[in-house]
Amino acid sequence: MEIVDVLVIGGGPGGYLCAERAAQGGLSVILFEKRALGGTCLNEGCIPTKTLLNSAKLYRHATESSAFGVEGTAVYHHDRVIARKNKVVKTLVAGVGATMRSNKVTVVKETAVIEGRTEEGFAVKAGDAVYTGRRLVIAAGSEANVPPIPGVKEGLASGFVVTNREILEETALPKHLIAIGGGVIGLEMACYFASVGTKVTVIEALPKIAGPTDPEICKVLMDTYGKRGMDFYLNCKVLAVTADGVKFEENGEEKFLACDKVLLSVGRHAASAGLGLDKLGVEMNRAAVVTDRHLCTSVPGVYAVGDVNGKIMLAHTAYREAEVAVNHMLGIPDEMRYEVIPSVIYTDPEVASVGLSLDEARKNGINAKETKLPMQYAGRYVAENERGTGFIKLVLDQDRRRLIGCHMVGSYASEIIMTAVMMIDTELSPSRLKKLVFPHPTVAEIIREALFAL
């Protein structure tokens, strides 16, 4: 069989973009995907959840807009929302397939397992065939964690317990959903169901929701969704999942809540098991493949991009890693800058951040200061939000006179954050940044206001 330049295992964001960029760079590529092109992000994560959240936002606007002079009735058809989600996913998956064909990437829809190293490169078995490539890219993605909580495996088998994959196929709204885990994935789904009429309870082992997100931002989210009927149990340990609810411990006291569906959302781990990486002697950090800033592994010619390297499990991180890896193959100077990767939570209101918080900066020995402004400093925000509680924080390195962090909660935060990303990435001084002209009125003007406040 023909020897190709690059073998890519995994057709998610990191894998398919790596295949596309490598092919555009003149390399011959074979891409292996055992399920569907697009990976978790396109089929079970980013795109499906945002489709649902957009429908929930429209529903909320239809039912809670009397303050804006609009009143009416609305009926939410969750089954139709799921059908539209499926249509969106099908369209985008087909688009990825078309891109692979147009770039002459060979797609093999089989489970791929590394056979080992050969004189020509690396051998990968998929189906009944063995493929050889001069370089190998691991882009196998991640899988949902399943903790050893009594009753969880039985619940998964019966459908009473679901992960982010299964819940996106539910055509009926549960009356009461308990989310085990208040991280980003669990929070987005919890907020979706709470917005469309489901009673939602979040049980989180940590003292706050949303992982490393700014505590003040987390409080805004909790206050907002608390008013919409969502309950939060923090610092709580789940003891067991029964046939009709969840047992947990709060302040040493055992409690029980009945529900008709449990969302298991306690993080994800790199999907490296069974790939055959041990046959190459690739260095691992538990399940994650260890990589440098060029996405090279400990084995020359082997790269790992996306969730499988455990760096920052976000689709846009995988996209950039794919480009850096291909550039390394082509001899083009490039490297990852993980410190300027933005993070977004697509709740309503949205949350977005990039760079360091004030506490993180000071822990790193940086002479930093922070400014905080309410979103009401932006006229468009006031026009579109009744009693909005959004705000922005900018963090400045006072010695270098450089912006090093931005954290915000409010409408359009997911779109506005890219402005802050470019400001931090380019390392322009605040005096230069203040000369940028923002269109008026936009919510993004809050960044300009915050710069002057610094």
Question: Measured between alpha carbons, how far is 378 from 293 in angstroms, rounded to an integer?
Answer: 38
∠ CA 47-50-56 to the nearest 5 degrees? 150
Task: Sort 223 into a burial class: Cβ within 10 Å, 0-12 / 13-18 / 19+.
Answer: exposed
Phi-psi region of 145 (alpha: psi -120 to 50; beta: other; left: phi over 0): beta
Distance of CA 321 to the CA centre of its chain: 15
Q: Reply yes or no on whether 269 is catalytic.
A: no
- DSSP bridge pairs for 80: none
- DSSP bridge pairs for 22: none
Q: Which residues of 237-256 are buried (b: 16+ CB within 10 A; e: fewer)?
A: ebbebbeebbbbeeeeeeee
Q: Beta-strand (E) ranges in 245-304?
A: 245-250, 253-258, 261-264, 268-270, 284-285, 288-289, 302-304
CA distances from 389 to 57, 63, 342, 382 (A): 17, 20, 22, 10
Residue 118 CB neighbours (<10 A): 12
Give the type of residue at 8.
Answer: V
Provide Rg for the chain, Cα atoms.
Answer: 23
Question: Measured between alpha carbons, how far is 113 from 336 in angstroms, rounded to an integer?
Answer: 27
Give the type of residue at 443.
Answer: V
Give the type of residue at 428.
Answer: L
Task: Sort 5 into a burial class: Cβ within 10 Å, 0-12 / 13-18 / 19+.
Answer: middle
Task: Sort 129 into a burial class: Cβ within 10 Å, 0-12 / 13-18 / 19+.
Answer: exposed
Question: Measured between alpha carbons, how far is 448 from 377 in angstroms, rounded to an integer?
Answer: 10
Closest CA to 267 of 210, 228, 305: 210
- In the set 61, 78, 294, 440, the catalytic residue is 440
Give the type of residue at 339.
Answer: E
Half-sphere exposure in the Cβ direction for 195 (13 Å, CA) = 24
Residue 382 CB neighbours (<10 A): 15
Catalytic (active-site) positions: 440
